Chain A
Amino acid sequence: MAHVKVVRRSMGKEEWILLRTSWINKRIIKKSVKLNGWSIREARQVDEMKYEFYDKDFRPINDGEIYFTPDGTCFLKIEVKIPEELLKEKVYLQFKTAAEMIVKINGKWADGIDPNRDRVLLGENFRSGDMLLIEIEGYNRSKPDDERNPKSSALKGCRQVFDSGSLITINEEVENISYDLNILTETMESEYVKEEIREFIKNELDKALNIIDYEESDEKVYLENIRKARNYVDEKIFNNNTFGKIGNVALVAHSHLDIAYYWRRIHSVQKNARTCLIQLRLMDKYSDFKYSHSQAFTYEMLEKYYPELFEEVKKRVAEERFEPVGAMYVEPDCNIPSAESLIRQCLFGQQFFRTRFNKTIDNCWLPDVFGNSWIMPQILKKSGIKYFISNKMSTWNDTNKFPHNHFKWKGIDGTEIYACVPPTHFISWNSPEQIIENWESFQDKDSCNETLSMFGYGDGGSGATAEMIEYMHRIEKIPGLPNVRHISAKQFLDENLDNNESLETWDGELYLEMHRGTFTTKSKIKKWNRKLEILICDAEMLSSIASIYGFEYPRDLINECWKKLLINQFHDILPGTHIQPVTRDTMKDYEFIYNNLNNLINNALSYLKIQASDNKSKFINLVNTLSWNRKGMIFIEGEFEANVGIKNFQSQLGERKFKKGIWLNVDSIPAVGVKSIELENNYISTKQDKWFTFENNILRTDLYEVTLSEDGSITSFVDKAEGREIVSRNSAINEIKIYHDYPGMYDAWDILDNYKDKEENYRVIKKLAIKEAGSLFIVFEVEFAINQSLWKQNIRFYRHDIRVDFEHYVDWKETNRIAKAEFDFNILTRYAKCDIGAGAIIRETHKNTSWQKSRFEVCHHKWTDLSENGYGVSIINDCKYGISFEGSKAGLSLLRSPIRPDVDSDKETHIFSYALIPHKKSPEDAGIIQKAYEFNYDVYAMKASEKKENSFILSENDNIFIQTIKIAEDKNEDNLYIVRLIELKGERGKGTIRLPKDIKNVWEVNLIEDEIEDHSFTFEGNSLSFNYNPFEILTFKLKF
């Protein structure tokens, strides 16, 4: 006989409690008058506060009609006469919508409506005949994959059915008991709550609900019973001391706002305004309510487009109820941006908060960021920040539980800051279950007595609701739940982390065991970000040098470029986890930045007489912006006649990254300086000089002997000077592999560790053959086809350098594939050293424990090295951030093609390059860091009217990189400049830099340019000498 599960068919006590609670909830609305007479004007937003209207004017819209169009905005308005039956009461507009709306009443910002809120207070004590003009701006962009709130998930869609709403009055006593009952029934149902407490609440709730007659039609009698029931709940449940409390949870209200994600940046202007407006109105209603809001950019938008709201925010900030958090300009990705970008996030952020609110924000608020670089503690601390907050590691890690919630985070240079990784999600709504889970998951109870729970809806903004605040007021009174207090983020951090010596220390990067695909997805954005990070520092440096000699420094335009670059480093833009229109906006911004920076560089170089307008001149000035003398192979892009060469230098016409130009082998271009060269029309190349042989796919030179395969992979590479084979036996390096890449719904974010299970075959359509050969280098080309995609590769071997360049052009049309360049080295090592922008991190390459296994894809910057004692191989790249290791194998991630959120992500042409450098000694002592910079920094080639050879700025130490020279933010005095230096090799010592002019005064400053006294330094003439520590970032303010 089959087993039949017996299901109770009659109602149990719990169900009976829930049913009666729902009957009470239905009687919250006292009176309701349906609204009719709305007008609508539909539009599409095309820029910040700019619209393309579909309707010439407002037109009527009625209940049941469809409104909103894809990517639509709509403006609604109605004139309302307050009905007689609602006079002398608080009157609300009730308007149900899946869209996000901001509401104006009689010209003043009233409140926000969205799937989580449907009620706006219109006023009270109206007089007969009072009229109201209600104006609404609506955006139909609720996040489509937000399943967290079941009420809102049912309402998705780019078109909506119009519900004209009602004017309502509320029975506040019923609403109050409704909040009591709702939170208590949630407690009763939660498995996180002890059985005995649940049983107690169930029995007492049942008794309280027995007091009410649900069929009572006399409102007065009904309300009297409601009061009695509420008193019963108060006395028996809320004042019960039998069960005690467990733990302490601080409740901080916030709203996570993605600047761009499933919406464009232009829409975040309204999303932010709606969020701020809602929170301001909650402050009006609840005198104890405080709210924390991050990202200076969002405040800037509010100030620009909603000045009245910004003034309200300012007032609440002064009262310490609206709390700016986060210190940064936006919440950026914290893996890929350069050190200077992260510094500018802090600089622009702090500058805004200081000038508008007279506050320096001492916390870095990054709840949703996909892992955090080891360079951050130093950058944050030197930007006036004491605390780091991010929820990701505690709730997203797919393999290992991050062992701390409160700890000290030690950075690459040894700097320590306090860190808080709250135990639960940053989007929560103060449900009893969430509060208990938060305390129970808290791992640092020995060192801290209180944990942090952030509450408020987020991603698309929104924040706290009245319900969350009502719940917050009741949690404290519920038996068995933790003690709670509603405080600011600053108060929580100051009271729990500051000077807490019992906190443990985490020394290393904060690697997120999830979202590993974000190092590679939308690779074109990453390529441009790298390129522009370099270009903007060059523009600042060259403008500064010109300015020292009298040029007007283009401060505003450079700042505008910086801000656009920083916005696009937001953690759903740079990682590539967004819809296609966001990519289009980003590329438009990049074009703006690129064009303007190029103009600025040209202007500065013209002022310095390095660039001439004389196009007929044979002289070319080569400009090096790196802080060391640059030598070796450099490339000048352009069209040159076939017989053109460079006088007194070896040169060879050819391509770089599929663009034509000329290569030359230079002896030295001075550090941050210029050197003139002269074009020669009848250049005699030394082409006949046979410096290589290529037979049977083996390339032989004095430096190396390389065996190439027809697909461009290398099966043998012998470094002749050292007599070493660098390719593992029966294996290869530079093998292009295409794998199936199906990580699931978070397609753009993730790579799974099983991606190598299924490999895609490809056809070699042009076997390896010599493409270019001359006196300086030889280039091989190879082509292959993968389904519909075309892949071309040029491999360049140099005569005087053991470096090999691999340049790729890919017309990428694949779906759910990942492309890797794999290297299997004949190197015995268990470690890889990876550049992280301001130093290098050592990562284990074995898979001994789950911690190493989970790091199957990591982020690096310009170089990675695998070495054994005294010898190793480095891979340097111009735009690739994802890399995998296994023993002595490395796999550089080249391209992905996820389908969500963007169905066509990455399906376009890509050009990228990387290089291989076998070397003696350590990578630092082999000059790999400098070579990686040189691989990324172009030499500017300018037509010259006069010959020059001079250095403007020089670092005398090869480990001290001059990262930035800019005009100081301090505008009180002229001729103040900022010089920022990074120690790259992990060494301690005394350094010297030389500057363009004699220095009149020097101050050491932090990254937000406040004067500090951390180092001893001296200056004389144009030299500045200072002590430095490993991986340190030093900043000086100089007066010339």
Chain B
Amino acid sequence: MRLDSVNLKEFIDNYIKVRIQADGGEIKFLSFQNNILTIQAQGECSKCNLTETCLKEWIVEEINKEFNKMISINIVRKKPYFWDK
């Protein structure tokens, strides 16, 4: 499948996100430009120590499996108001 913003958003929404939600996490697709995917980490992901490392690595791997291309990921954390001190 062609790696573009539309396809990548669909993949994030339908494959990546549903799995992360099952662990209480949440990510949102923000943009895909210059081979950099920017996602917003919400819910449990917004405060998890593994988000920047293990989770990011897994998303890169899954995208590579689906689109046969390595990309970079930029994660923007959005903590819920009650943790955002």
Q: Does any Cβ of B come within 8 Å of A608's Cβ?
A: no
Are B80 and A158 touching (Cβ within 8 A)? no
Q: A153-171 CB contact bits vs B (8 Å, 1 = yes)?
A: 0001111000000000000
CA distance A71 to B58 in the complex (A): 12
Cβ contacts under 8 Å, A140 to chain B = 23
Out of A141, A158, A899, which one reaches B20, CB within 8 Å? A158
Out of B43, B54, B55, which one reaches A900, CB within 8 Å? B43
CA distance A580 to B42 in the complex (A): 13
Cβ contacts under 8 Å, A899 to chain B = 42-43, 80-81
Q: Does any Cβ of A come within 8 Å of B4's Cβ?
A: no
CA distance A70 to B45 in the complex (A): 11
Known: A66-B54, A899-B80, A903-B26. A581 touches B48 (CB 8 A): no
Out of A581, A742, A747, which one reaches B22, CB within 8 Å? A581
Are A579 and B24 touching (Cβ within 8 A)? yes
CA distance A1001 to B41 in the complex (A): 66
Q: Does any Cβ of A come within 8 Å of B57's Cβ?
A: yes
Q: Does any Cβ of B come within 8 Å of A337's Cβ?
A: no
Out of B26, B54, B57, which one reaches A157, CB within 8 Å? B54
Q: Which of B27-77 contact A (CB under 8 A)?
A: 42-44, 48-50, 54-55, 57-58
- Tally of contact residues, A, Cβ under 8 A: 31
Q: Does any Cβ of B come within 8 Å of A264's Cβ?
A: yes
Q: Does any Cβ of B come within 8 Å of A816's Cβ?
A: yes
Are B24 and A901 touching (Cβ within 8 A)? yes
**Majority SS of interface residues in chain A?**
loop
Known: A159-B55, A159-B58. A70 touches B50 (CB 8 A): no
Q: Does any Cβ of B come within 8 Å of A144's Cβ?
A: yes
Cβ contacts under 8 Å, B25 to chain A = 70, 158
Choose among B16, B20, B54, B57 the residue with the greatest number of A CB atoms under 10 Å from its CB: B54
Known: A144-B44, A745-B82. A159 touches B54 (CB 8 A): yes
Q: Does any Cβ of A come within 8 Å of B18's Cβ?
A: yes
Q: Does any Cβ of A come within 8 Å of B21's Cβ?
A: yes
Closest-CB distance, A816 to chain B (whole angstroms): 7
Known: A742-B81, A899-B80. A71 touches B42 (CB 8 A): no
Are A71 and B18 touching (Cβ within 8 A)? yes
Known: A144-B24, A262-B24, A903-B26. A156 touches B19 (CB 8 A): no
CB nearest neighbor in B for A161: B54
Q: Does any Cβ of B come within 8 Å of A829's Cβ?
A: no
Known: A903-B42, A903-B43. A744 touches B23 (CB 8 A): no
Are B21 and A579 touching (Cβ within 8 A)? yes
CA distance A66 to B54 in the complex (A): 8
Cβ contacts under 8 Å, A263 to chain B = 22
Are B82 and A70 touching (Cβ within 8 A)? no
Q: Which of A881-921 contact B (CB under 8 A)?
A: 899-904
Closest-CB distance, A135 to chain B (whole angstroms): 24
Closest-CB distance, B7 to chain A (whole angstroms): 20
Closest-CB distance, B26 to chain A (whole angstroms): 4
Cβ contacts under 8 Å, A44 to chain B = 19
Q: A577-609 CB contact bits vs B (8 Å, 1 = yes)?
A: 001110000000000000000000000000000
CA distance A158 to B57 in the complex (A): 12
Q: Does any Cβ of B come within 8 Å of A69's Cβ?
A: yes
Closest-CB distance, A305 to chain B (whole angstroms): 20
Q: A46-71 CB contact bits vs B (8 Å, 1 = yes)?
A: 00000000000000000000100111
Are B80 and A70 touching (Cβ within 8 A)? no
Choose among B22, B43, B49, B57 the residue with the greatest number of A CB atoms under 10 Å from its CB: B22
CB nearest neighbor in A for B49: A157
Cβ contacts under 8 Å, A581 to chain B = 18, 21-22
Cβ contacts under 8 Å, A156 to chain B = 44, 48
Known: A69-B19, A159-B50, A903-B43. A744 touches B82 (CB 8 A): yes
Are B24 and A71 touching (Cβ within 8 A)? no
Known: A579-B24, A903-B43. A70 touches B19 (CB 8 A): yes
CB nearest neighbor in B for A143: B24
Are A158 and B23 touching (Cβ within 8 A)? yes
CA distance A816 to B80 in the complex (A): 10
CA distance A913 to B24 in the complex (A): 32
Are B50 and A157 touching (Cβ within 8 A)? yes
CB nearest neighbor in A for B57: A66
Are B43 and A70 touching (Cβ within 8 A)? no
Are B22 and A264 touching (Cβ within 8 A)? yes
CA distance A747 to B82 in the complex (A): 9
| 11 cross-chain CB contacts under 8 A | A70-B22, A70-B58, A71-B18, A72-B19, A144-B23, A159-B55, A262-B23, A264-B22, A742-B82, A747-B80, A900-B80
14 new A-B pairs (CB below 8 Å) besides A158-B23, A158-B50?
A: A70-B58, A71-B19, A144-B23, A145-B24, A157-B50, A158-B20, A262-B24, A745-B82, A747-B82, A899-B42, A899-B80, A899-B81, A903-B26, A903-B43
| Contacts from B to A (Cβ < 8 Å) | 16, 18-26, 42-44, 48-50, 54-55, 57-58, 80-83
10 nearest CB pairs, A to B: A71-B22, A159-B54, A71-B19, A158-B23, A70-B19, A903-B26, A157-B50, A70-B20, A745-B82, A144-B24
